[in-house]
Amino acid sequence: MDVLRRLVSVVRTVIGVPDYERYLRHMHARHPDCAVLTPAEFAKARLDARYSRPGSRCC
Amino acid sequence: MRSVRTVILWGLIAAIGAAALGRVALSRGESINAAWLLTAAICTYLVGYRFYARFIATRVFVLDADRATPAMRKSDGHDYVPTNKWVVFGHHFAAIAGPGPLVGPTLAAQFGYLPGALWIVIGVVLGGAVQDFVILCSSVRRDGRSLGQMAKDEIGPVAGVTALVAVLGIMVVLISVLALIVVNALKSSPWGMVTISLTVPIAMFMGLYLRFVRPDKVLEASAIGLVLLAGALWAGQWVAANPALAPIFTMTGPSLALLIMGYGFAASVLPVWLLLAPRDYLSAFVKIGVVAALAVGIVLVMPPLAMPAVTQFVDGSGPVFSGKVFPFVFITIACGAISGFHSLIASGTTPKLLAREPDAKLIGYGAMLTESLVAIMALIAACVLTPGVYFAINAPVAALGTTAESAALAVRQWGFVLQPGEMDALAKSVGESSLLSRTGGAPSLAVGMAHLFDRALGGGGMALWYHFAIMFEALFILTTLDAGTRVGRFMLQDLGGQVWPKFREVTWQPAVWMASALFVSMWGYFLYQGVTDPLGGINSLWPLFGIANQLLAAVALCVGTTVIIRMGKARYAWTTLLPLTWLLIVVMTAGYQKLFSPDPRIGFLAHAEKFSSLYSAGTIPPGVPSLAVMPRMIFNDRIDAAVAAFFLVSVIVIVVESVRVWVGVVRGRVPMNSSEVPAQSVALFPAD
């Protein structure tokens, strides 16, 4: 089961899905007093960043 | 003991590679097997990776596992995230590999397989992979800064601005030529048209599903999407076979061009979660799937190459595109050998994900080698077709005429074999009404792939495989097109914001709509011009794209050289100066010929001149529908000439600016300082 979950996480990162869990872990570890984004806010912020600059896609 | 074994192993790999390369290069008159080409390429990549990439890693940049990467120093859980190197490799590869390495080698096959193959293999090891690797290392040492920013910091503000404007120009040409390829693949093909159109509602369904039904279940939504894609393939076949429905979806080039422009506009103004993001997920799976399937197909079938090693078209008289093998093979094949566009990705998301500095070797150099292998496979897929079939698909109407008989005659005059019935039978077997003059490379690649898959899996499925390949190609071309249009819109908004700050606001709809419409009409202009061009459009647009892409590579290599010299490593600057010099020779020669060649098939201005005199004499050249369209064609030639001139001037500006800095640093007039961030040990940055 762990292998499967690991595989899913690898595939998701490769195709470029933002990883909310990792963001949460990071915020809890490093910035415990800061407010965290909700999953929806996080997803929106990530997508906006990805599609607003050259360099996310090639010919 | 271990070192002896290493020496023997690498000696063996080098020997096998050299033998295979010799076989590929020296065989004449007999057909050789694709296995030789594949072996030669893979052995060269292995040797290049083991020795040259390691040399750059240890001697030039001295990559240090103890030096903290931006992902560690600025770890923020979303942009800067230390990530496993194989995951970054996959991510980076999915971002750099697009339709470019598939189309370029297919077009360049008109010279025979040898010129393209040599350029792809040698170009990548000494040029393309070096560029990607050096830019990645430079960006990693600068907190993941972009190419434009590095050009400004390291070379100067003029170089920075030139780089930015060049990027915008390249995007316009890139998107228009890619859109043209899709148009040529879908023209009068109801099957293809239905299948590709259905991918849009499929992506939107996935978007809605991810937003409202099962948020964040991307793999689940993608699985549904892939099943629906298979359904779309089947629906296309059904419509094409239905006499009432088929004519509705049988489109002409110009109407397809307008539809694609509408699509690009929609993708740029709609929310990304609805269309772009789900399409991207699908496209990433498709990309990796198609590359893997192509590799498996070639390895299973091990086809002989039907194309000669070198054709007579190296003299510049080729029908697919005009121009001699030098410089045009080096312009036609950009992606796969050296692609300037990669420098934007190597200085975009990727440097912010690296967990360790030494990982840059696998990701920068290694991913580019993989893309090069894709280019070699595309070349093989094009060369398994008999030359007669290859030229009948890829030569424009102006060269072939419009009937099977005229095409067969033309191909025979070039010295290749083609029966008049052969193309009809082939078209019928792939479920198309005609395959004559389907320029752009996508249809001939799809025929080649269908041929391979069909033979690998035992026959009977040509039509399905052909449309499967067309769907895959169109899917990831449209993914580049829609994301590119959106990025172009942001760049225009940014540019316009310099004079009118409100224009920059991404939440202000009028600005969003205006910038989108402006950017779409910029690439749409070139697309429409290509669609209505009797020479097929690819003939004029692909070289422009090649020049633009190599221009960006020249910018990247100038930045790389400056970085190396400012590190105090001027003695190793030849690593980037070598490919830079070659690119400058190629781009300048090609650009000069596109502008000033007296041959109207090559020079834009000579072509305009010729058409002007024909027009004043009242003569309509072959393939041109009427006298009335000629003034527009003449105007288009002059626009193309202006674009080529703009690219050449940009190259000169960047190179002159860079050389001034290099000489200054070496002579001690310019201080050696660079924008590199000071080294910090990884020990200072504990993992989350």
Q: What is the DSSP string of B531-549?
A: HT-TT-SHHHHHHHHHHHH
Answer whether A39 sits within 8 Å of B167, measured CB to CB. no
**What CA–CA distance (Å, rounded) separates B225 from B282?**
7
Chain B positions in Cβ-Cβ contact with residue A37 (cut-off 8 Å) = none
Radius of gyration of chain B (CA): 25
pLDDT at B300 over 70: yes
Give the mean pLDDT of chain B.
Answer: 92
Which of B94, B99, B272 is closest, CB to CB, to A47?
B272
Q: How many inter-chain contacts (A to B, CB under 8 Å) are there?
A: 136
pLDDT band at B368; cut points 50, 70, 90: very high
Q: CB-based contact (8 Å) between B87 and chain A?
A: yes
Residue B538 has pLDDT above 90, yes or no: no
**Given a cut of 90, is residue B13 above it in pLDDT?**
yes
Residues of B in contact with A39 (CB under 8 A): 215-216
Which residues neighbour B558 within 8 Å (Cβ) at sequence distance 6 or greater? B151, B155, B159, B580, B654, B655, B658
Over residues B229-253, the mean pLDDT reads: 95
Shortest Cα distance, chain B CAs vs residue A5, angstroms: 12
pLDDT of residue A37: 86
Give the C-alpha separation, B582 to B403, whole Å. 42
Cis peptide before B201 (omega within 30 of 0): no
Gap from A3 CA to chain B (nearest CA, Å): 15
Residue A54 pLDDT greater than 70, yes or no: no
Q: Does A47 touch chain B (CB under 8 A)?
A: yes
CA B567 to chain centre: 32
DSSP B369-415: HHHHHHHHHHHHHHHTS-HHHHHHHHS-HHHH-SSHHHHHHHHHHTT
CB contact under 8 Å between B81 and A22, yes or no, is yes
B479 contacts A59? CB cut-off 8 A: no
pLDDT digits (tens, 9 = 90+) for B142-155: 999 999 999 999 99
Lowest mean pLDDT, pick from B216-230, B441-455, B545-559, B616-630? B616-630
| Separation between Cα atoms, residue B92 and residue B143, nearest integer Å | 18
At residue B164's C-alpha, the angle toward residues B518 and B499, to 5°, is 55
Judged against a pLDDT cut of 90, whether residue A26 lies above it is answered with no
Inter-chain contact A53–B487, Cβ cutoff 8 Å? yes
Residue range B280-286: average pLDDT?
87
pLDDT of residue B311: 95
Helix, strand and coil content of chain B, in percent to the nearest 5, comes to 75, 0, 25
Q: Which residue in A has a C-alpha nearest to residue B175's C-alpha?
A: A59
pLDDT band with cut points at 50, 70 and 90 for residue B466: very high
Which residue from B75, B94, B334 is facing A14, i.e. has the nearest CB? B94
How far apart are alpha carbons B28 and B639 in whole angstroms? 42
pLDDT at site B219: 93
Distance from CA of A8 to the nearest CA of B (A): 8
* Contact (CB, 8 A) for B364 and B88: no
Residue A20 contacts B, CB cutoff 8 Å: yes
Considering only CB atoms, which chain A residues are within 8 Å of B352? none
Residues 6+ apart with CB under 8 A from B425: none
pLDDT at B212 exceeding the cut of 80:
yes
Chain B: nearest CA to A15, how far in angstroms?
Answer: 6
Determine whether the interchain pair B178/A50 forms a contact, defined as Cβ–Cβ distance below 8 Å: no
Q: Does A12 touch chain B (CB under 8 A)?
A: yes
Section B52-62 average pLDDT: 97
List residues bridging with B304 in a β-sheet.
B33
The model's confidence at residue B372, banded by pLDDT at 50, 70 and 90, is very high
Contact assessment for residue B37 and residue B380, using Cβ atoms and an 8 Å cutoff: yes
Contact B285 A53 (CB under 8 A): no
The letter for the amino acid at B444 is S
The pLDDT of residue B286 is 85
Question: Does residue A41 carry a pLDDT above 70?
Answer: yes
Contacts of B484 in chain A (CB under 8 A): 57
ipTM of the prediction? 0.87
Q: Mean of the pLDDT values across residues B113-118? A: 96
* Nearest residue of chain B to residue A8 (CA atoms): B219
Contact status of B420 with chain A (Cβ, < 8 Å)? no
CA B205 vs. chain centroid, Å, equals 29
For residue B310, what pLDDT is reported?
Answer: 94
Q: Please, which pLDDT band fits residue B38 given cuts at 50, 70 and 90?
A: very high
Inter-residue contact B136 to B351 (CB < 8 Å): yes
User: What confidence category does residue B1 fall into, taking pLDDT thresholds of 50, 70 and 90?
Assistant: low
Q: How confident is the model at residue B479 (pLDDT cuts 50, 70, 90)?
A: confident
Residue B61's closest CA among B359, B508, B432? B359
Distance CA B94, CA B80 (A): 19
Q: If you average pLDDT over residues B225-247, what whole number do you get?
A: 95
Asked whether the beta carbons of residue B75 and residue A30 sit closer than 8 angstroms, the reply is yes
Q: Which residue has the tokens 């806010």?
A: A41
CA distances from B248 to B147, B183, B251, B392 (A): 46, 16, 8, 27
- Residue B653 parent element (H or E): helix B630-667
pLDDT over 90, % of chain B: 75
Work out the average pLDDT over B100-122: 95
Reported as a pLDDT band with limits 50, 70 and 90, residue A53 is: low
pLDDT for B533 equals: 86
Query: What pLDDT is attached to residue B383?
Result: 95
Backbone CA torsion sign across B663, B124, B97, B58? negative
Which domains, ranges and CATH numbers included, belong to chain B? 2-189+250-667 (1.20.1740.10)
Quote the minimal CA–CA distance from B77 to chain A in Å: 4
pLDDT of B125 > 90? The answer is yes
Using a CB-CB cut-off of 8 Å, the residues of chain B touching A29 are 688
Nearest chain A residue to B491 by CA: give it.
A53
CA-closest candidate to residue B48, choices B305, B365, B370: B365
pLDDT band at B26 (very low <50, low <70, confident <90, very high): confident
| DSSP per-residue letters across B249-298 | G---HHHHHHHHHHHHHHHHHS-TTTTHHHHHHHHHHHHHHHHHHHHHHH
Continuous segment of H or E residues that includes residue B196: helix B190-208
User: CB contact, 8 Å: A6 with chain B?
Assistant: no
Do B601 and B322 form a contact (C-beta atoms < 8 A)? Answer: yes
pLDDT range class, residue A56, cuts 50, 70, 90 = low
3-state SS of B460-522? CCHHHHHHHHHHHHHHHHHHHHHHHHHHHHHHHHHHHHCCCHHHHCCCCHHHHHHHHHHHHHH
Query: Is the CB of A5 inside 8 Å of chain B's CB atoms?
Result: no
Work out the mean pLDDT of chain A and round it to a whole number: 80
